Amino acid sequence: MNPQVTNVVIMLGMMQVTKKIPFDDPLWLNGTRAAYVLSNLIIIGLYFFVGRSIKQKNDLTTLKYVEPAPPMSGEEPKLTTTTIAAYDQTKLKAAYKSVLMGVGMMAVMHLYFKYTNPLVIQSIIPVKSAFEAQLVQIHIFGKPAIGDLKRPWKAGGGLMEQLQGGGGGGDAKSDKGAIQEVEMSGRGGAKEE
């Protein structure tokens, strides 16, 4: 089943569960807070081990792909040449940033606006998403980088795009034709190190 669809199912189920939790009781409230903190520690620990795996493997295989231009920017697609280790490190930094932004948003929602129900949902879905992430699948579970795990990874489209079966027009392309087109036009060659 599609991860976005299972996230919606979990969210709807947990919304029903949170209606029955007595958040007025400090024991339940503190238990919910502890579960949220524990889930984020699990995610950060998982990403820490992914980072160690990336450094240990130090895969210096060259990776060339065409980055799509930002929508409605008028810019041209850009050729990027990097290594698999550098690509994975970039994706790992983005994953850490995503965790920190989620914690920041939950802190505002819980501490400032006094919403408690989202703590329950955000204790489950981010952990599930972290275990489904390509980096974790490759570096922790040892799956080969083929199919959906082949780099460069597709951008995670929105829920509606996934339900409609769209692959997303803004994905990086690594096929020879797209790379040659950008090289011939003289728009590429940015090498990340």
How far apart, in whole angstroms, are the C-alpha atoms of residue 193 and residue 63?
A: 11
Query: Residue 83 belongs to what H/E stretch?
Result: strand 78-83
pLDDT digits (tens, 9 = 90+) for 167-178: 444 677 777 677
Task: Name the one residue in this structure whose structure tokens are 């690594």.
Answer: 174
Indicate the pLDDT class of residue 166, thresholds 50, 70 and 90: very low
Task: Name the one residue in this structure whose structure tokens are 């919910």.
Answer: 32
How far apart, in whole angstroms, are the C-alpha atoms of residue 29 and residue 133?
A: 30
CA 19 and chain centroid, separation:
29
pLDDT digits (tens, 9 = 90+) for 112-163: 999 999 999 999 999 999 999 999 999 999 999 999 999 999 876 554 444 4
- Eight-state DSSP code of residue 45: H
Tell me how far apart the terminal alpha carbons of the chain are, to the nearest angstrom.
37
- What order do you get walking across the sheet with 78-83 strand by strand? 62-67, 78-83, 190-191
pLDDT at 106 over 90: yes
pLDDT digits (tens, 9 = 90+) for 6-34: 999 999 999 999 999 999 999 999 999 99
pLDDT at 108 over 70: yes
Region 43-60: what's the mean pLDDT?
Answer: 97
The token pair that represents 135 in the structure block: 């980096």
| Other beta carbons less than 10 A from residue 32's beta carbon | 19
Q: Are 46 and 131 in contact (CB under 8 A)?
A: yes
Indicate the pLDDT class of residue 74, thresholds 50, 70 and 90: confident
Q: Where are the domains of the chain?
A: 3-191
Q: Are strands 62-67 and 78-83 parallel, antiparallel or unpaired?
A: antiparallel
- The whole-number pLDDT of residue 192 equals 52
Q: Are 117 and 18 in contact (CB under 8 A)?
A: yes
- The whole-number pLDDT of residue 191 equals 52
